[in-house]
Structure 1
Amino acid sequence: MSEAYKSLPVLPLKNSVLFPHLVMPLSVGRPASVAAVEAALSTEEKELVIVAQRDSSVETPTLADLYTVGVRAVIKRRTRPTEDTMELIALGVERVNLVRLESAEPYMRVLVQPLPLPTDTGPEVEALHHEVMELASKAIAMAQPQAPQELSRLLMATDDPLRLAYMLASMFSLEVSKEQALLEAQTRADALRLTHSYLAHELQVLELRNKIASAAQTEIGKEQREYFLRQQLRAIQQELGEKNPEQAEIELLRERLEKADLPDDVRKEAQRELSRLERLPSSSPEFHVTRTYLDFVLELPWRISTEDQLDIARARQILDEDHYDLKEVKERILEHLAVLKLNPGAKAPILCFVGPPGTGKTSLGQSIARALGRKFERMSLGGMHDEAELRGHRRTYIGAMPGRIIQALRRAGANNPVIMLDEVDKLGRDFRGDPASALLEVLDPEQNKTFRDNYLDLPFDISKVFFITTANTLETIPRPLLDRTEVLRLPGYSEEEKLEIARKYLIPRQLKETGLTAEQCVIGDDVVRRIISGYTREAGLRQLERGIGRVARK
């Protein structure tokens, strides 16, 4: 090994380090690098210095961009696939220190000084040598299970610990900074320690990769087994003339879709979803979401209506049977029946019953439904904060459900029920939305012809629904919502009215609930007056009915 200084061309490498006594294939394309190679090939020795860059993104490196330790190398072979690029095979000869820059154009030439390899020995070097060989065997077995045994034997036969470290570093493609630290190691022990730490890290990464790959392979194997068994089951069912459950369910949905009386745009969307369902595997979450959606679409009463009973005399009789007085409210209901009799396509009114608790607002809605011969659905809005409870959730959310309006129509089985929105004055609002604003569309006859529930995402005509809202006060109802309703006030009852209501409705009902007959228990007018004046101080009738119930139970 020569101790003399030498002036040699420099070939900078971006992402790798050449070690002494090892061969490396190189692809050269930068103009300065090509010029350096040509300068080396023009000499008899064909030598140059190969050194790594500190930053691989620098295209035209200077001496400051290079590490100070490189390798003197000999070019063993050169090919030129194109005019601007070269393919080389270089053999590392010895470590060198870059002393100073001699020229920078047209290529970099530096003065180098040989840096002999360390030759220290001892028990520590031997122990580290054996540890590195053991780690290397494990890492190679995990990284390349099909690797030829000659590779392992070659490593085992390498007596030089430093050469073993260099070979392992080049095999495992370490980071440039780690390879350079190994090249610059001052002693064999330092080089082996670095190699040991690098291999230990690589071994941990390989173990984790193998664990992930094994888990993925197990899952794939399980899925393949399930697929194979399902295919066998399908073949057996075909031989027996049976249908698999998923296919039978899809056929049932298709049959229901053909029989259902749906609007054209709804039918088109349902057919599209059914075609999509056929392509989905039954194990997919989307399969169950789509099936539930189609079930719901087919259950809705798109064109099913209950026939109104337009006998005004009968309606008056029903209203009088269920409620005492309330002439204004009863007249308004009878007016609507008269309009429907003359014009069946008339829009349903939207009424708002306002009055103190216990004045019969809710029961009046039931009487209206009975008088019209329609289904009755009631929903309480008190304390509702989430707009999605009325308009539904989008199907992209897990556990999405239709809104309460559409669910009420499905339960009613008709598109023209009487729906009572109870306690509309107690609606809440927070970050989830404003239910009162959602009601604006529901209660607007011009907009609710094409009401879109977020879950359904199809236009549904709710203009035939007879909406009734109830409230104890108008103060907390938003003005735009109040403008869409016809307010009917139910004032508190006088003592005489309470007496009459108790005689006709409350006493018979309480006697029936307690299992008594009119002969067994007689509650006179004086008793009722005493209960009204002494035990109830309310505009409604709830306390009075409780008082009568207590007397009946005694």
Structure 2
Amino acid sequence: MTNTNNKDNFIPVVAMRDIVVYPQMMAPIFISRKMSAIAIENAILTEDHYLILLAQKDPAMEEPEIKDLYQAGVLIKAVQILKFPDGTIKALADGVERVKIVEIVKNNDFYQAKYEVLQEIKQEDENTKALINLTIDKFKEYIKKTTKINVESFITLAEIKESGKLADIIATYLSIELPEKQKIFEILNTYERLEEVSKILAKELELLGIEETIQEKVKFSLGKTQKEFLLREKLRAIKQELGTDEGLDESEELRKKIEEAKVPQKVKEQLLKEIRKLEKMSFYSAETSVVRTYVDTVLELPWSKCSKDMLDIKRAQKILDEDHYGLKDAKERILEFLAVKKLSKEPQATIICLAGPPGVGKTSLAKSIARSLNKKFSQVSLGGINDESEIRGHRRTYIGAMPGRIIRAIQNA
């Protein structure tokens, strides 16, 4: 059973965003919120300088309520207090005891609480000794693999023979989320606490091992352009290790669009070939923009979109008469063409060519034909063009190459 030591006096309480302080340890804390600053200033006025640190359930919350705080925290003694000009307070927290909140109230713009001391359930036997040695070995391996911990820390830990204290110290070094640290903090059985820390250590070692594997894959696959390909190769190695398609890069997004687009098989193969070429290029290469523009242009063409022909001769004659007065010969030739198209089951190779000086109605006749057939109409004006590339498009070898007017007209239609 856990023994408790009831305290009748109210002690100032400070809510901590992202840190859990353990008993018998010293850790710097930074106070920036007004409520917390008032609490620590009141603690300084007392003889013992005692404070209770309670972790927030949601670190992002600026003004936590009582329900937003964990009910188990640490009783600390505030030492070496330093106040900065901007109002921020830095203090060295000396952990004293694990405590549980019995009653908490808000008084004079800060929280105060009564508490009871939570006594550890110590379990020191052969199993505990074996677990201590195992955990120390794991932590030694963890220090070797990570660059975040000084090797001197292990020398200090190797001398600790108390399972509870060892678990608390190792927990402070681990890069784990606050809820996990709080869970370790609340385990009173020293063997169970060290066992939980050992499990987390094993998981962290596995993650570090995966990171090393990724680094090795990156190291061997990098070529001459190391700086340019570093991030791309890391991303590829990570996705290969995880076996997932999450986090699609640009080439994969384009590949997905190609698979979803209803394009002919020959066109799809050509586009996928361009994507493979894009993956081998540097992100900053000028040719990447050319390839992306080409793929986007091809995908924007209406490959599988078509309107249903409406070959109604009487309707066509009505529309032509509505839109134009006169032009009897031109209208009769158009109606003859449409009649042959309607009767013939095979596609016709002939087309209508409207010739004449400006302003006689060539374009308006073409619009009327499109309307009668239920077709989209797109106009390509060639006046003033003196470069064939304006019509058929530029060669892809040019930087900023664009499709010609005919292709753009098809896109707009």
TM-score (norm 2): 0.57
The residue type paired with residue 121 of structure 2 is: P
Whole-Å separation in 2 of the counterparts to 1:37 and 1:8: 10
Look up the SS of the partner of 1:54 in the other structure: coil
CA 1:113 to 1:442, structure 2 compared with 1: closer, same or farther past 3 Å?
closer
CA 1:444 to 1:10, structure 2 compared with 1: closer, same or farther past 3 Å?
closer
Structure 2 spans left out of the alignment, 5+ residues:
228-279, 300-345, 351-372, 397-401, 407-413
CA contact 2:28–2:90 (8 Å) conserved in 1: yes
TM-score (norm 1): 0.44
CA 1:166 to 1:223, structure 2 compared with 1: closer, same or farther past 3 Å?
same
- Deviation, 1:214, is 3.0
Whole-Å separation in 2 of the counterparts to 1:71 and 1:133: 25
Whole-Å separation in 2 of the counterparts to 1:102 and 1:442: 78
Match for residue 367 of structure 2?
none
- Deviation, 1:394, is 5.3
Out of 31, 54, 71, the residue aligned to residue 68 of structure 1 is 71
Q: Which moved more, 1:8-17 or 1:207-216?
A: 207-216
Match for residue 395 of structure 1?
294
Match for residue 115 of structure 1?
118
- Deviation, 1:63, is 2.3
CA contact 2:102–2:115 (8 Å) conserved in 1: yes
CA contact 1:165–1:191 (8 Å) conserved in 2: yes
Look up the SS of the partner of 2:294 in the other structure: coil
Cα RMSD over matched residues? 4.3
- Deviation, 1:452, is 3.8
Look up the SS of the partner of 1:91 in the other structure: strand
- Deviation, 1:43, is 1.2
Look up the SS of the partner of 2:97 in the other structure: strand
Whole-Å separation in 1 of the counterparts to 2:14 and 2:222: 48
For the pair 1:34 / 2:26, whether they are aligned, the reply is: no
Whole-Å separation in 1 of the counterparts to 2:223 and 2:121: 52
1:323-402 to 2 correspondences below 5 Å: 395-396=294-295
Match for residue 306 of structure 2?
none
Out of 140, 165, 168, the residue aligned to residue 170 of structure 2 is 168
CA contact 1:394–1:455 (8 Å) conserved in 2: no
CA 1:82 to 1:131, structure 2 compared with 1: closer, same or farther past 3 Å?
same
1:20-419 to 2 correspondences below 5 Å: 20-144=23-147, 148-220=150-222, 223=225, 284=281, 395-396=294-295
- Deviation, 1:109, is 0.6
Whole-Å separation in 1 of the counterparts to 2:127 and 2:192: 10
- Deviation, 1:223, is 4.2
Look up the SS of the partner of 1:56 in the other structure: coil
CA contact 2:52–2:73 (8 Å) conserved in 1: yes
CA 1:424 to 1:122, structure 2 compared with 1: closer, same or farther past 3 Å?
same
Match for residue 309 of structure 2?
none
Whole-Å separation in 2 of the counterparts to 1:31 and 1:443: 70
CA contact 1:442–1:451 (8 Å) conserved in 2: no
Whole-Å separation in 1 of the counterparts to 2:75 and 2:38: 17
Whole-Å separation in 1 of the counterparts to 2:45 and 2:285: 75
CA 1:286 to 1:187, structure 2 compared with 1: closer, same or farther past 3 Å?
closer
Whole-Å separation in 2 of the counterparts to 1:98 and 1:287: 59
The residue type paired with residue 208 of structure 1 is: I
Whole-Å separation in 2 of the counterparts to 1:398 and 1:289: 17
CA 1:22 to 1:222, structure 2 compared with 1: closer, same or farther past 3 Å?
farther
Whole-Å separation in 2 of the counterparts to 1:111 and 1:122: 35
CA contact 1:394–1:454 (8 Å) conserved in 2: no
- Alpha-carbon displacement from aligned partner over 1:409-440 (angstroms, at most 9, x marks no partner): xxxxxxxxxxxxxx85499xxxxxxxx99998
1:434-445 to 2 correspondences below 5 Å: none
- Alpha-carbon displacement from aligned partner over 1:11-54 (angstroms, at most 9, x marks no partner): 11011111001111111011110011011111121111111111
Match for residue 451 of structure 1?
391
Look up the SS of the partner of 1:67 in the other structure: coil
Match for residue 550 of structure 1?
none
CA 1:69 to 1:222, structure 2 compared with 1: closer, same or farther past 3 Å?
same
Whole-Å separation in 2 of the counterparts to 1:287 and 1:93: 57
- Alpha-carbon displacement from aligned partner over 1:429-467 (angstroms, at most 9, x marks no partner): xxxxxxx99998799987997524487636589xxxxxx
Whole-Å separation in 2 of the counterparts to 1:195 and 1:163: 12
Percent sequence identity is 21
Whole-Å separation in 1 of the counterparts to 2:207 and 2:69: 30
Look up the SS of the partner of 1:92 in the other structure: strand
Look up the SS of the partner of 2:15 in the other structure: strand
Look up the SS of the partner of 1:116 in the other structure: coil
- Alpha-carbon displacement from aligned partner over 1:213-232 (angstroms, at most 9, x marks no partner): 3333344465469xxxxxxx
CA contact 1:18–1:51 (8 Å) conserved in 2: no
Whole-Å separation in 2 of the counterparts to 1:25 and 1:69: 20
- Deviation, 1:75, is 0.9
CA 1:70 to 1:424, structure 2 compared with 1: closer, same or farther past 3 Å?
same
Match for residue 12 of structure 2?
9
Whole-Å separation in 2 of the counterparts to 1:193 and 1:72: 24
The residue type paired with residue 113 of structure 1 is: E
Whole-Å separation in 2 of the counterparts to 1:38 and 1:140: 38
CA 1:224 to 1:446, structure 2 compared with 1: closer, same or farther past 3 Å?
closer
- Alpha-carbon displacement from aligned partner over 1:516-545 (angstroms, at most 9, x marks no partner): xxxxxxxxxxxxxxxxxxxxxxxxxxxxxx
Whole-Å separation in 1 of the counterparts to 2:384 and 2:374: 13
CA 1:141 to 1:112, structure 2 compared with 1: closer, same or farther past 3 Å?
same
Whole-Å separation in 1 of the counterparts to 2:98 and 2:16: 15
- Deviation, 1:105, is 2.7
Match for residue 344 of structure 1?
none
Q: Which has the larger radius of gyration?
A: 1
The residue type paired with residue 396 of structure 1 is: V
Look up the SS of the partner of 2:295 in the other structure: coil
The residue type paired with residue 130 of structure 2 is: A
- Deviation, 1:183, is 0.9
Whole-Å separation in 2 of the counterparts to 1:447 and 1:438: 28
Paired residues in the alignment total 278
- Deviation, 1:7, is 2.1
The residue type paired with residue 59 of structure 1 is: E
- Deviation, 1:148, is 4.5
Match for residue 508 of structure 1?
none
